[in-house]
Amino acid sequence: MQKIIEGFLKFQNEVFPERSELFKRLADQQNPHVLFITCSDSRVVPELLTQQDPGDLFVIRNAGNIVPSYGPEPGGVSATVEYAVSVLGVSDIVICGHSNCGAMGAIASCACLDEIPAVAHWLRYADAAKAIINGRTHGSDRERADDLVRENVIAQLANVRTHPSVARALAERRLNLHGWVYDIENGAIQALDGQSHTFVPLADNPQVRAT
């Protein structure tokens, strides 16, 4: 904790004064244009990866970058998606998985999760992706896990489309969906091309989107 406290003091004494005008503008309102949904993994920092300022991204983070399908008892993820789309009016939603994801690794390896039942229940929202990769042959455990990471991004994009606020915004052509996979080791991002249904390097295809 001492390191965290020291970091805050540095922010308060050095960083904040240099950006005081920005924080003054943000004090009474926010106007993010992107809802960024990613994993809680400590190695994935959306604002760092995208070089965005405070106020630019509306962020959801959870184990496995999961978006449960809309249902009669919507939870916190559903409420946050709805608020971002219907109230803040974001124009884009990014669902970003990442390499060496612990959540996806546990699913891919059929790890026993009896000791963490809440996690086991949560990861059932990735069952569609699991079913798809179970029908494929993989050369290694790493290849299987990487395949699951990609398919999970696709599955969560399908889930987010079931939310009424998202469905309406898509129908009115005021919302775009993006599926990304971030590679921690090399810093690259693969993006889902909605036309070819494959993941392509974002650096070479900056306009690509999932839908």
Per the CB < 8 A criterion, the answer to whether 83 and 60 are in contact is no
Bridge partners of 178? 94
> What is each CA distance from 131 to 69, 99, 102, 197, in whole angstroms?
17, 20, 18, 18
- Amino acid at the residue 56: D
How far apart (Å, rounded) are the C-alpha atoms in residues 166 and 159? 10
Between vectors from CA 119 to CA 115 and to CA 125, what angle results, nearest 5°? 140
Enumerate the active-site residues. 39, 41, 43, 98, 101
- Determine how β-strand 189-193 pairs with β-strand 92-98: unpaired
How far apart (Å, rounded) are the C-alpha atoms in residues 154 and 151? 5
- Determine the distance from the C-alpha atom of residue 118 to the mean position of all C-alpha atoms in its chain, rounded to a whole number: 20
How far apart (Å, rounded) are the C-alpha atoms in residues 123 and 24? 40
Closest of 133, 117, 140, 156 to residue 39, by C-alpha: 156
Angle between helices 127-134 and 141-161 (to 10 degrees): 140
